[in-house]
Amino acid sequence: MKGPRPLQPGLVAEGVSDEPFLCALIQRQLDELLLAKSQQSVAVNPCDRSERRITGAGKAEAVIEAAWDLAQDCDLIFVHSDEKEHAKAEKLTAELRARATGGKAAEPVCLVPVRMTESWMLADKAAIARTIGGADLGQYPYGTPSEVEKAHNSPDHPAYAKRVWQAIVGKGHGGALDDSMEVLALHIDLGLLAQLPSYQQWLADTEEALKAKGFL
């Protein structure tokens, strides 16, 4: 009896601290999408990570080549950046797509939260309370999930996502080795995330990539 078709996702993150949350979220959201919409049995593997990140030390060519190497072993490759670095993510996505034409490399998908990854982390207040010990939710300023992506551009604004995140959980949370970020991704309400415009765009682009690879 034939088993489920494997799907291998990959991630090129803006920075290493984003990886635990995003890798867990990608695998979980792919599982949900395929369960709801695919006519075939698919097993989503844990998300692989590029050895190079979009920002930080190193040349852009090295980032591209590391991403291309990862793309050889994946079905979908997600290229992440915060909003201010979106041009880099879009450029890398376009380069991967151009190289993959006619080949078997991964289908690239941009993953760009409005403002920053913390905007997605902040979408579900209850999940933060359940998964992050000592969170000070008295510092949570948003009335609805979609408010986290509204025009709070200045780091000095009291509702600026990174500032709010640090006020709620402290600076000890969110590092590359912080297991609570992965736990948060496993408990966050995907329906609340789907209220965010940037998440809606990512879902739509991911569905198109799944169709291109024959998973939907």
- The per-residue pLDDT for range 185-212, each reduced to its tens digit, is 999 999 999 999 999 999 999 999 999 9
pLDDT band at 174 (very low <50, low <70, confident <90, very high): low
Task: Please work out, in degrees rounded to the nearest 5, the angle formed at the alpha carbon of residue 78 by the alpha carbons of 75 and 58.
Answer: 115
Residue 100: CB atoms within 10 A of its CB come to 18
pLDDT band at 177 (very low <50, low <70, confident <90, very high): very low
Phi and psi at 11, nearest 5°, equal: -135, 130
Domain borders along the chain are 5-212
Q: Is 28 exposed, middle or buried (0-12, 13-18, 19+ CB in 10 A)?
A: middle
pLDDT band at 28 (very low <50, low <70, confident <90, very high): very high
Q: Which two tokens stand for residue 75?
A: 């079905």
Residues 97/99/102/106 CA torsion (nearest 10 deg): -60
- Alpha-carbon distance of 46 to 50, in angstroms, equals 13
Q: Which residues of 155-189 are buried (b: 16+ CB within 10 A; e: fewer)?
A: eeeebbbbbbbbbbbeeebbeeebebbbbbbeebe
Contact status, residue 111 vs residue 78, Cβ threshold 8 Å: yes
- Identify the pLDDT of residue 152: 62
What are the angstrom distances between the C-alpha of 75 and each of 65, 98, 100? 17, 15, 11
- Which of 99-113, 138-152, 158-172, 194-208 tops mean pLDDT? 194-208
pLDDT greater than 60 at residue 166: yes
